[in-house]
Structure 1
Amino acid sequence: MGASSRARAVEAARAGEWQQLPGLASRLAAGPTALWGISSSGAVQRWTGSGWALEGGPATRISVSADSGSLPWIVRPNGNIWRRTLEGPWRQVAGTGVDIAAGGADNTWTLGSGGIFRWNGSGWTRADGSAARIAAGSSGEVWIIDPNGRIYRRSSDRWELKPGSGVDIAVASPTRVAITSVDREAYLWTGSDWRQLPGVDAVSIAIDNQHVYALDPAGKIWKLNA
């Protein structure tokens, strides 16, 4: 399909399924009760239901806890890791990283210098493997995309290879996993393979228990009930 034909197909599918939200973003992260993002200028922002409220920053990566708190963790441009507290302020935690995955109090992970690390309450414990992207869910789920695009799920302290390949990944629960592919398609995990979610030119992805969110190459924000 040519570029213009594909663009028309994308717009047609969006009209019936994907809803554009106001604003622009460079990253998105969804929790059970909140949607957060990073603006094109690096500011941390929270979706209010009708627009975006600025909540600090700057940040390069963001992940929202998949437990009931829906509190974000961020990685700043210098690699320092901060988390939002129940009291409201941001608090720096130990260590540095390039990506963050907040699945909950005992299931938060980062990609740091030389590998994959899991939060132990006061610091980071190294795990095996290497990854380019990491995402974690509410029930102990953690998935990675390795530097070659291969997709793995953590199972019994080992990495289990899954079908397909990806560029970005998001996890809400064992049955709620989404990826983007190298050809900028969005997919939802079926339990054994990936189901395409047509109609969006996706470079980044986020997911909660009811919705999938995608960013297109221009930073536009799209929401799908799926």
Structure 2
Amino acid sequence: MGAAADGTVWGVNSGNQIYRYTGDQSATNWVGIAGSLVRIDAGSRTNVWGVDSAGGIYRYTNHDANPWLKIPGGLSDIGAAADGTVWGVNSGNHVFRYTGNQDSASPWKNVNGSLKRIAVGSRTNVWGVDPAGAIYRYTNHDASGGNPWVKIPGAATDIAAGADGTVWHVNSGGEIYRYVGDQPS
């Protein structure tokens, strides 16, 4: 599921069907969208991305005839932000940042690190979970080729980041946590 600061909400069900939340109070507040995805994220109404079961990457175009544009590459998880930032991880746990050049044969830049899940609130608010469940925050301090990720206490199976800096995660027991950083809890 992906929820954006502008109120945009998208989700996929266990059958890989795609839905967009309309926000009205009628019985049809979830509208089906053509396509099939296993992961989806919404940074805004105009920045919705998904990954299908084969690792294909798609960006929502809002065109009725063909609502999804296939982007080169292969990912297993994707995160999109309101500022247009998009990150992903592949099945080998490699981390990538979208360069914006969708006409390129490789519009993804590899970033040091090993993650299973990724969440993007903004260009400066990128979080991930590694295959062992450890939580990491991206620092962008990898000029020497070192690790640009800082380990954060806790363990997670999935993570979400908001444009306002808010970060949430779910652990293997299904418990939900909000990151408070150095704030009193």
TM-score grouping bracket, smaller chain normalisation: 0.7 to 0.9
SS in 2 for 1:137: strand
Tell me how large the CA RMSD over aligned residues is.
2.1
Which letter maps to 1:159? W
Q: Which residue number corresponds to residue 127 of structure 1?
A: 111
Q: Which residue number corresponds to residue 31 of structure 1?
A: 4
Q: Which residue number corresponds to residue 145 of structure 2?
A: none
Which letter maps to 2:135? I
Distance 2:153 2:17 in 1: 35
When the two structures are superposed, what TM-score results if normalisation uses the length of structure 1?
0.67
Q: Conserved in 1, the CA contact under 8 Å of 2:83 and 2:122?
A: no
Task: List gaps (5 residues or longer) in structure 1.
Answer: 1-27, 196-226
Distance 1:35 1:167 in 2: 21
Residue identity (%): 34
1:48, distance to aligned residue in structure 2 (A): 1.3
Which deviates further from its counterpart, 145-154 or 49-58? 49-58
Q: Which residue number corresponds to residue 156 of structure 1?
A: 140
Distance 1:98 1:154 in 2: 19
Q: Given the superposition, is the C-alpha separation of residues 133 and 193 from structure 1 closer, same or farther in structure 2, using an over 3 Å criterion?
A: farther
Q: Which residue number corresponds to residue 21 of structure 2?
A: 47
Structure richer in helix, relative to its length: 1
Distance 1:124 1:41 in 2: 28
SS in 2 for 1:144: strand
Q: Conserved in 1, the CA contact under 8 Å of 2:128 and 2:136?
A: yes
Match of 2:80 among 74, 95, 102: 102
Task: List gaps (5 residues or longer) in structure 2.
Answer: 102-106, 142-147
Which letter maps to 2:9? L
Q: Deviations over 1:54-101 (max 9, x none)?
A: 012210010111xx5353101011111001126563211111110001
When the two structures are superposed, what TM-score results if normalisation uses the length of structure 2?
0.81
Between 1 and 2, higher relative CO (CA 8 Å, sep ≥ 6) is seen in 1
Pairs aligned (count):
166
Q: Given the superposition, is the C-alpha separation of residues 95 and 193 from structure 1 closer, same or farther in structure 2, using an over 3 Å criterion?
A: farther
1:73 aligns with 2:49: yes
Q: Given the superposition, is the C-alpha separation of residues 106 and 31 from structure 1 closer, same or farther in structure 2, using an over 3 Å criterion?
A: closer
